[in-house]
Structure 1
Amino acid sequence: MRSSGRRSNGVKIGVEGRTLQGERYGVARYLVNLLRNLVELEGEEEYIVYLSQPIVPLDFSSPRMRLEVLGRAPGLTWRHLRLPMAMHRAGVDLHFSPSYFLPLVKVCPSVAVVHDITFKVHPEWFAQDRRFRFDRLFWREVKRAERIVTVSEHSKADIVRILGVEASRVTVIPEAADPFFRPVRDEERLAGVREKYGLEPGFLFTAGAIHTRRNLERLIEAVSRASRDLGEETELLILGTTAPFTPPVDIWGTARRCGMEGRVKHIEYVSEEDLLLLYNACGIFVYPSLYEGFGLPVIEAMACGTPVVCSNVTSLPEVAGDAALYFDPLSVEEMADAVARAMEDGGLREELGRAGMSRAATFSWSRAAAETLRVFREIIA
């Protein structure tokens, strides 16, 4: 079904923007950075960002981008009925989904971003009632996309191997750290954020949605062991909201069992300014994930000059390169040894911080936007 309505001279790209509603983590941060850079590129493309409710204003604007609120509706009704109807009326030339799903009703060519296929590789990490949505509905829709964009070679290999998508239909366009993430040397500001959240200097930090794959229970065990080995009482800050589709993650029970009660702190959300300061104020950023499509917090921490200790699996070695200290995420002992090594070796931390800044600089949102626009134009042509 294609629109026969009145057309403008430009090309209309319809963007599903509901991830911009609420706190902006994950896919929302991806979309904000991509749109900010897309509208700066030369061209006739007009971006219509479809929402179900008004949002907190973005920190940029452009005459080539407008927000259209379609009103609230149940999630499936909004995506599969209200959104395609709106795109049909507007004469949209291409639909861009920044997060996996596409409408069952196809009104124009589409490009979908598949950040990872954790749900397919590890269905046991998802609550039973969500598996139908992530498996049957997702696969039925995504295989109809003219192009799939993903964020790492690892994710592309999984998409091709496990989903059976032709390699020529999958384009890898890596993410990047927002330029906002940078070193902060103002000790007063860093001390202020530690005081605000009740943290001591040298605390360990990890960030990301609370999900089975984030491996937080092993991390707590490893920090407990590393602290005991070094004779210190190290604090661990966990930042992130609980993913709605994950089985329970027992942060507090694990902390009690490991003698970390009172030293494990959990914050669901902080402002972007506080996130910047926390990256800079921590002693080490630790990312113990079992499976990632990219691992954006790793690059954000590196952009701040923070030493990174992380898993040696899936996309993380591809993203972090030679700028991180790695461990096997299934081995509490190996994780503890890596954390302890970084904690006690100031020279290693400085070396990792410098290498991380250089590594983060190799990723660029302006380049990601240019490559994404190239995909749009190839499909529309």
Structure 2
Amino acid sequence: MHKITINCEKLNHPNTGLYHYCANLSKALLAATPADCRLQVYAPASAAAIYPPGTFIIPQHGWHKLFNPASYNCNLWHATNQEKSYFPTARSVKKILTVHDLNYFNDPSKPLHKRTRYLRNIKSLVRRSSHLICISAYTLQELQKHMAINLPHNIIYNGCNIDFAVPETKPALQLPAPFIFTIGTITNKKNFHVLPALLVGNDYLLVIAGDIHRPAYQQKIIATAKQLGVADRVIFTGGITEGEKHWYYRNCLAFAFPSLHEGFGLPVVEAMAFGKPLFLSTHTSLPEVGGPDAFYFEHFDPVYMNRLFTEKLNYFNANKMVLKQNLLNRAVTFSWTEAARQHWEIYTRVLNS
């Protein structure tokens, strides 16, 4: 029997994209496991509760960064992110690497020597892998700018995280007016500070959901809102439950995501699954994921953003039946079941090579 280990140590970090990626992909892979294979989930012991009874869990420990004995007990290891911490030390084990983005390398605020080391580490992981998976064409293109990709590689899109079996939960927060919704960790790369401009000249609210990773950046968002005279209509919820997230998506006026750095952009597909008008930046992978029926900010001048938002929201509402259905149709193409099928094809190919 072939033993395949999928690294899900990022289940240590709820309310992040990598958490949802690991949880949803691993569960879809488990549901599609061939009879001659055993999928082993390398994850923190606390994560066992999200899996069906009988799932083979290999407990992850911090000291595995120095030496990872778990990596010796398999035929194939799937490294689900580009960090080197838990990458197998066993040369006999075949390795598949998933790269999500080069966001850290592309962030000019990071020290150059750290960015250089980060890229060097990714190059090393690519050289040691049997197969490379990227989550978007954009990510693959970024890698090809900086290194030779001389191994088999595929693009496999993420699925949609929304499970409509999860009941909606109305938040305790009272929202007295229509609201624009966005979600993500509060960090500079999300570019949320440009969104208060959308509130000028109307009575809309802006709801920003997500853990505050950079308090100084939250203050920048607030300061921008104060300058525009709309600070009383910008709301931070912190982390939210899946049920609350569903409620915000279903009830929002529109979804705005002006991020500067994404490898994919899971929240875009989530909002798409509710047929909501999407207002995105043109940066990185977002046009690839958002598609032709999303609306895009070409730049972040506040007057321009406000005008585009107003015009395109009116356009969406005037053509709602068609545009909403287009978004719903596109959302179903992002499937964890399909992603799992493609992964199993690659696992089988690598095991038999």
Q: TM-score range by the shorter chain?
A: 0.7 to 0.9
1:113 corresponds to which of 88, 98, 103? 98
1:223 corresponds to which of 192, 198, 216? 198
Structure 1: tracts of 5 or more residues without a match: 1-9
The residue aligned with 1:324 is: 294
1:339 corresponds to which of 291, 309, 320? 309
Amino acid in the other structure paired with 2:152: R
Amino acid in the other structure paired with 1:318: E
Work out the CA distance in 2 between the residues paired with 1:313 and 1:339. 17
Matched, 1:211 2:187: yes
Work out the CA distance in 1 between the residues paired with 2:165 and 2:309. 23
Q: TM-score, normalised by structure 2?
A: 0.88
CA RMSD of superposed structures (Å): 2.7
Work out the CA distance in 2 between the residues paired with 1:109 and 1:321. 35
Contact 1:290 1:329 in 2 (8 A): no
Contact 2:186 2:217 in 1 (8 A): no
Matched, 1:161 2:145: yes
Amino acid in the other structure paired with 1:178: N
Work out the CA distance in 2 between the residues paired with 1:14 and 1:332. 48
Contact 1:236 1:263 in 2 (8 A): yes
Matches within 5 A, 1:213-292: 213-220=189-196, 222-224=197-199, 227-228=200-201, 232-243=202-213, 248=217, 250-292=220-262
Work out the CA distance in 2 between the residues paired with 1:348 and 1:313. 26
Secondary structure of 2:329's partner?
helix
Contact 1:295 1:319 in 2 (8 A): yes
The residue aligned with 1:139 is: 123
The residue aligned with 1:174 is: 157
The residue aligned with 1:95 is: 77
1:303-345 C-alpha deviation (Å, 9 max, x unpaired): 0121211122322222121221122144434322222224445
Change (3 A) 1:183 1:352: farther
The residue aligned with 1:29 is: 20
Contact 1:101 1:112 in 2 (8 A): no
Q: TM-score, normalised by structure 1?
A: 0.82
Change (3 A) 1:255 1:331: closer
Work out the CA distance in 1 between the residues paired with 2:244 and 2:281. 25
Contact 1:183 1:304 in 2 (8 A): no
What is the aligned length?
346
Amino acid in the other structure paired with 2:251: A
Tell me by how many angstroms 1:223 deviates.
Answer: 1.4
What fraction of aligned residue pairs are identical, expressed as a percent? 24
Contact 1:238 1:266 in 2 (8 A): yes
Work out the CA distance in 2 between the residues paired with 1:262 and 1:300. 27
Contact 2:275 2:328 in 1 (8 A): yes
Work out the CA distance in 2 between the residues paired with 1:315 and 1:212. 17
Work out the CA distance in 2 between the residues paired with 1:34 and 1:78. 23
Amino acid in the other structure paired with 1:26: G
More deviation in 371-380 or 95-104?
95-104
Tell me by how many angstroms 1:51 deviates.
Answer: 2.9
Contact 1:80 1:105 in 2 (8 A): no
Contact 1:116 1:155 in 2 (8 A): yes
The residue aligned with 1:354 is: 325
